[in-house]
Amino acid sequence: MELILMEDVPSLGKVGELVKVSDGYARNYLLPRKKAVRATAVSLKAVERERHSLEHKQDKLEQEAQELAQKIEEISCTVAKPAGEEGKLFGAVTSADIEDALQGQGVSVDRKKIVLEEPIKNLGVYTVSLKLHPQVTAQLKLWVVKE
């Protein structure tokens, strides 16, 4: 049976793909859970229209992410934390601290988009990656100074 997927199904396909599955799998799993619809001329046209609108939205989101990335790469943020004599922090700089520092600069970014490979536990200058969109990554210059 040929179906059009309405949501991503692991090991089968992504949204909008035309797939061929067994009748039982379609009747008992995919169709009742609204994960797919039968492939008819009407449903194919509807999926194609929806795909075009989704692509347009994704392009717009990517454009906005590009603009935000340019703005982020032009600034640098400073985070002040209490530290010991050897430059070791009492604690660590977290993504929430970086989010607050960015908001102080007038840039709003969700902390889940901030990528820290390892916790920042020393004073110094760091480059932090921000994954703004699947295709857009920005680099932020972060200064960690003693409070």
Domain made up of 66-146: CATH architecture: Roll (3.10)
CA–chain centroid gap for 87, Å, is: 33
Q: Position of tokens 């994960």?
A: 35
Domains of the chain: which residue ranges?
A: 2-64, 66-146
The mean pLDDT value for 90-97 works out to 93
Cα radius of gyration (the chain): 23
- Amino acid making up residue 63: Q
15 pLDDT above the threshold of 90 = no
Q: Supply 90's token pair.
A: 């009492």
How far is the C-alpha of 72 from the C-alpha of 75, rounded, in Å?
A: 6
147 pLDDT above the threshold of 90 = no
Residues 33-87 have pLDDT tens digits of 999 999 999 988 988 888 888 889 999 999 999 999 999 999 999 999 999 989 8
Binning pLDDT at 50, 70 and 90, where does residue 140 land? very high
Q: Do the beta carbons of residue 9 and residue 30 sit within 8 Å?
A: yes
Res 44: pLDDT: 87
The mean pLDDT value for 108-114 works out to 93
Q: Position of tokens 């994954």?
A: 131
How far is the C-alpha of 92 from the C-alpha of 78, rounded, in Å?
A: 14
16 pLDDT above the threshold of 90 = no
Binning pLDDT at 50, 70 and 90, where does residue 137 land? very high
Q: Position of tokens 């454009």?
A: 63
Q: What is the CATH number of domain 2-64?
A: 3.40.5.10
Calculate the average pLDDT of the chain.
92
Res 31: pLDDT: 95
Res 50: pLDDT: 84
Strand partners, 77: 142
Binning pLDDT at 50, 70 and 90, where does residue 98 land? very high
